[in-house]
Chain A
Amino acid sequence: MPKQLNRKFILQFLGLFASLGSLFWWLTPSKPKSRLAMVMDLDKCIGCHACTVACKSENGVAIGGSRTRVLEQEYGDYPETTRFFLPLMCNHCEDAPCIKACPNKAILRKDNGLVDINKDLCNGFQFCVSACPYGAIYINPDQEPDEAVQDYPSRTVFKADKCNFCEERLEEGLEPSCSNTCPADARIFGDLADPNSKVSKLVHGEKLTGLLMEEGTQPQVYYKGGMHSIFQVSKAINKK
Chain B
Amino acid sequence: MKRREFVQIATIGSAAIFQACETIEVETQKASQASLNSPKKEIASACWQCVSRCSILAYTKENRLVKIEGNPLSMRNEGKVCAKGQAGINQIYNPDRLLYPLRRIGQRGSGKWEKISWETALNLILEGGEIEGSKVKGLKTLRQEGNPEKFLFHYGRMVGTDYTILINYFLSAYGTSSIGNHDSICSRAGSIARRLTGDISSSKKFDDVDIILNFGRSLIDAGIDHIPIIRRVTKMRERGVKIYTFDVRLSNTAAKSNKWIPVKPGTDLAVVLALSHVLLNEGLYDKEEIEQTANVTVDELLSHLAPFSPQWAEEIAGVPASLIEEIAIEYGNANSGVCTSFRGAFMHFNGVQTQRAIYMLDVIAGNIGPQVRKTKRAQWNFPFPRPEKPAAKLPIFTGDSGQFAVSDGSISHQILTQINKGNGKPELYMVYCHNPVYANGNCNENIEIYKDTSKIPFLVSVDVGLSETTELADLVLPDASFLERWTAEAKGTADGIPEYYIRQPVHEPLGETRNFVDVACNLAKELGLNLGFESARDFVEGACNTTAGIKEAGGFEYMKKHGIWHDRSAQVSYIKRGKVKLFSERLDKSGFAGLPTWMSHPDHQDLNEDELILTTFKVNVHTHSRTQNCKWLTEIYHENPAWINAATAERLGIQSNDWIKLKSSIGELITKARITQGVHPTAISISHHLGHWAFGEYASGKKTSINLENDSDSQLVWWESYGMHLNKIIPNYGDPISGAMCWNDTVVSVRKIS
Convert B250-270 into 0s and 1s, putting 1 for each residue whose CB lies closer than 8 angstroms to a CB of A: 101001100011100000000
Among the 9-residue stretches A40-48, A90-98, A148-156, A204-212, the one with 4 or more Cβ atoms under 8 Å from chain B is A40-48
Nearest first, the 4 A-B pairs at minimum CB distance are A60-B4, A83-B255, A183-B80, A53-B83
Q: Are B2 and A60 neighbours in the complex by a CB distance under 8 Å?
A: yes
Of B86, B220, B255, B716, the contact of A142 (CB 8 Å cutoff): B716
Convert A59-90 into 0s and 1s, putting 1 for each residue whose CB lies closer than 8 angstroms to a CB of B: 11111100000000010111101111100000
Q: Does B20 contact A (CB under 8 A)?
A: no
Q: Are B713 and A63 neighbours in the complex by a CB distance under 8 Å?
A: yes
Q: Are B620 and A47 neighbours in the complex by a CB distance under 8 Å?
A: yes
Complex A-B: 16 CB contacts under 8 Å: A44-B234, A48-B252, A50-B80, A50-B82, A53-B633, A57-B87, A60-B1, A61-B4, A63-B718, A64-B716, A74-B676, A119-B1, A177-B67, A181-B69, A181-B81, A183-B81
Q: Are A63 and B635 neighbours in the complex by a CB distance under 8 Å?
A: yes
Given A49-B621, A57-B68, A182-B80, answer yes or no on A82-B632 (Cβ-Cβ < 8 Å). Answer: no
A84 contact set on B, CB distance < 8 A: 255
Q: Does B678 contact A (CB under 8 A)?
A: yes
Q: Are B4 and A62 neighbours in the complex by a CB distance under 8 Å?
A: yes
Nearest chain A residue, comparing its CB with the CB of B80:
A183
B5 contact set on A, CB distance < 8 A: 60
Q: Are B86 and A57 neighbours in the complex by a CB distance under 8 Å?
A: yes
Total residues of chain A contacting the partner, CB 8 A: 42
For window 608-657 of B, CB contacts with A under 8 Å fall at 620-621, 631-633, 635-636, 645-647
Convert A144-179 into 0s and 1s, putting 1 for each residue whose CB lies closer than 8 angstroms to a CB of B: 100000000000000000000000000000000100
Q: How far is the CA of A44 from the CA of B66 in the complex (A)?
A: 29
B460 contact set on A, CB distance < 8 A: none
B80 contact set on A, CB distance < 8 A: 50, 181-183
Given A48-B620, A63-B718, answer yes or no on A184-B83 (Cβ-Cβ < 8 Å). Answer: no
B19 contact set on A, CB distance < 8 A: none
Task: Beyond the given A81-B678, A83-B678, A183-B234, please list 11 additional residue pairs across the A-B interface where CB-CB is below 8 A.
Answer: A46-B256, A52-B636, A53-B87, A57-B86, A57-B87, A63-B635, A63-B716, A64-B718, A79-B262, A142-B3, A177-B67
Q: Does A141 contact B (CB under 8 A)?
A: yes
Q: Are B718 and A181 neighbours in the complex by a CB distance under 8 Å?
A: no
Closest chain-A Cβ to B515's Cβ sits at a distance in Å of: 24
Q: Are B718 and A48 neighbours in the complex by a CB distance under 8 Å?
A: no
Q: Does B70 contact A (CB under 8 A)?
A: yes
A48 contact set on B, CB distance < 8 A: 82-83, 220, 230, 252, 620-621
Q: Does A218 contact B (CB under 8 A)?
A: no
Q: Are A78 and B645 neighbours in the complex by a CB distance under 8 Å?
A: yes
Q: Are A1 and B718 neighbours in the complex by a CB distance under 8 Å?
A: yes
Q: Does B237 contact A (CB under 8 A)?
A: yes
Convert B128-171 into 0s and 1s, putting 1 for each residue whose CB lies closer than 8 angstroms to a CB of A: 00000000000000000000000000000000000000000000
Nearest chain A residue, comparing its CB with the CB of B4:
A60
Q: How far is the CA of A67 from the CA of B209 in the complex (A)?
A: 39
Q: Does B717 contact A (CB under 8 A)?
A: yes
Convert A121-134 into 0s and 1s, putting 1 for each residue whose CB lies closer than 8 angstroms to a CB of B: 00000000000000
Q: Does A109 contact B (CB under 8 A)?
A: no
Q: Are A57 and B632 neighbours in the complex by a CB distance under 8 Å?
A: yes
Q: Does B573 contact A (CB under 8 A)?
A: no
A185 contact set on B, CB distance < 8 A: 234
A181 contact set on B, CB distance < 8 A: 69-70, 79-81, 86
Q: How far is the CA of A44 from the CA of B220 in the complex (A)?
A: 11
Closest chain-B Cβ to A121's Cβ sits at a distance in Å of: 15
Convert A100-143 into 0s and 1s, putting 1 for each residue whose CB lies closer than 8 angstroms to a CB of B: 00000000000000000001000000000000000000000110
Q: How far is the CA of A181 from the CA of B85 in the complex (A)?
A: 11
Closest chain-A Cβ to B394's Cβ sits at a distance in Å of: 42
B-side residues, CB < 8 A to A, are: 1-5, 66-70, 77, 79-83, 86-87, 89, 220, 227, 230-231, 234, 237, 250, 252, 255-256, 260-262, 620-621, 631-633, 635-636, 645-647, 676-678, 681, 712-713, 716-718
Q: How far is the CA of A32 from the CA of B298 in the complex (A)?
A: 71
Q: Does A217 contact B (CB under 8 A)?
A: no
B260 contact set on A, CB distance < 8 A: 79, 81-82
B234 contact set on A, CB distance < 8 A: 44, 183-185
Given A44-B234, A181-B69, answer yes or no on A81-B677 (Cβ-Cβ < 8 Å). Answer: yes
Given A49-B621, A79-B262, answer yes or no on A141-B255 (Cβ-Cβ < 8 Å). Answer: no
Convert A198-240 into 0s and 1s, putting 1 for each residue whose CB lies closer than 8 angstroms to a CB of B: 0000000000000000000000000000000000000000001
Q: How far is the CA of A167 from the CA of B633 in the complex (A)?
A: 25
Which DSSP category, helix, strand, loop or mixed, fits chain A's interface?
loop
Q: How far is the CA of A46 from the CA of B635 in the complex (A)?
A: 19
Q: Does A56 contact B (CB under 8 A)?
A: yes
Q: Are B252 and A49 neighbours in the complex by a CB distance under 8 Å?
A: no
Q: Does A58 contact B (CB under 8 A)?
A: yes
Q: Are A57 and B3 neighbours in the complex by a CB distance under 8 Å?
A: no
Given A47-B252, A59-B1, A62-B4, answer yes or no on A183-B231 (Cβ-Cβ < 8 Å). Answer: yes
B677 contact set on A, CB distance < 8 A: 74, 76-78, 81
Closest chain-B Cβ to A172's Cβ sits at a distance in Å of: 9
Q: How far is the CA of A60 from the CA of B645 in the complex (A)?
A: 40
Nearest chain B residue, comparing its CB with the CB of A83:
B255
Q: Are B86 and A50 neighbours in the complex by a CB distance under 8 Å?
A: yes
Q: Are A44 and B237 neighbours in the complex by a CB distance under 8 Å?
A: yes
Q: How far is the CA of A79 from the CA of B5 in the complex (A)?
A: 46
Of A60, A81, A119, the contact of B250 (CB 8 Å cutoff): A81
Q: Are B712 and A46 neighbours in the complex by a CB distance under 8 Å?
A: no
Q: Does A180 contact B (CB under 8 A)?
A: yes
Q: Does A54 contact B (CB under 8 A)?
A: yes
Q: Are A52 and B220 neighbours in the complex by a CB distance under 8 Å?
A: no
Of A62, A74, A144, A184, the contact of B678 (CB 8 Å cutoff): A74
Q: Are A141 and B82 neighbours in the complex by a CB distance under 8 Å?
A: no
A182 contact set on B, CB distance < 8 A: 80
B77 contact set on A, CB distance < 8 A: 183
B3 contact set on A, CB distance < 8 A: 60, 142, 144
Q: Are B716 and A184 neighbours in the complex by a CB distance under 8 Å?
A: no
For window 16-47 of A, CB contacts with B under 8 Å fall at 43-44, 46-47
A119 contact set on B, CB distance < 8 A: 1
Closest chain-B Cβ to A44's Cβ sits at a distance in Å of: 6
Q: How far is the CA of A49 from the CA of B79 in the complex (A)?
A: 16
B66 contact set on A, CB distance < 8 A: 57
Q: Are A78 and B255 neighbours in the complex by a CB distance under 8 Å?
A: no
Q: How far is the CA of A86 from the CA of B220 in the complex (A)?
A: 17
A47 contact set on B, CB distance < 8 A: 252, 620
Q: How far is the CA of A188 from the CA of B243 in the complex (A)?
A: 25
Q: Which of B3, B86, B632, B681 counts the most A-chain CB atoms under 10 A from its CB?
A: B86
Q: Are A46 and B87 neighbours in the complex by a CB distance under 8 Å?
A: no
B261 contact set on A, CB distance < 8 A: 79
B237 contact set on A, CB distance < 8 A: 43-44
B252 contact set on A, CB distance < 8 A: 46-48, 83, 85
Q: How far is the CA of A178 from the CA of B261 in the complex (A)?
A: 33
Q: How far is the CA of A1 from the CA of B719 in the complex (A)?
A: 11
A53 contact set on B, CB distance < 8 A: 83, 86-87, 621, 632-633, 636
Closest chain-A Cβ to B679's Cβ sits at a distance in Å of: 8
Q: How far is the CA of A64 from the CA of B67 in the complex (A)?
A: 20
Nearest chain A residue, comparing its CB with the CB of B698:
A63
A183 contact set on B, CB distance < 8 A: 77, 80-82, 227, 230-231, 234
Closest chain-A Cβ to B322's Cβ sits at a distance in Å of: 13
Given A53-B86, A63-B717, answer yes or no on A46-B220 (Cβ-Cβ < 8 Å). Answer: yes
B1 contact set on A, CB distance < 8 A: 59-60, 119
Closest chain-A Cβ to B140's Cβ sits at a distance in Å of: 46
B79 contact set on A, CB distance < 8 A: 180-181
Q: How far is the CA of A70 from the CA of B414 in the complex (A)?
A: 40
Nearest chain A residue, comparing its CB with the CB of B674:
A74
Closest chain-B Cβ to A111's Cβ sits at a distance in Å of: 22
Closest chain-B Cβ to A73's Cβ sits at a distance in Å of: 10
A79 contact set on B, CB distance < 8 A: 260-262
Nearest chain B residue, comparing its CB with the CB of A45:
B256
Q: How far is the CA of A219 from the CA of B114 in the complex (A)?
A: 59
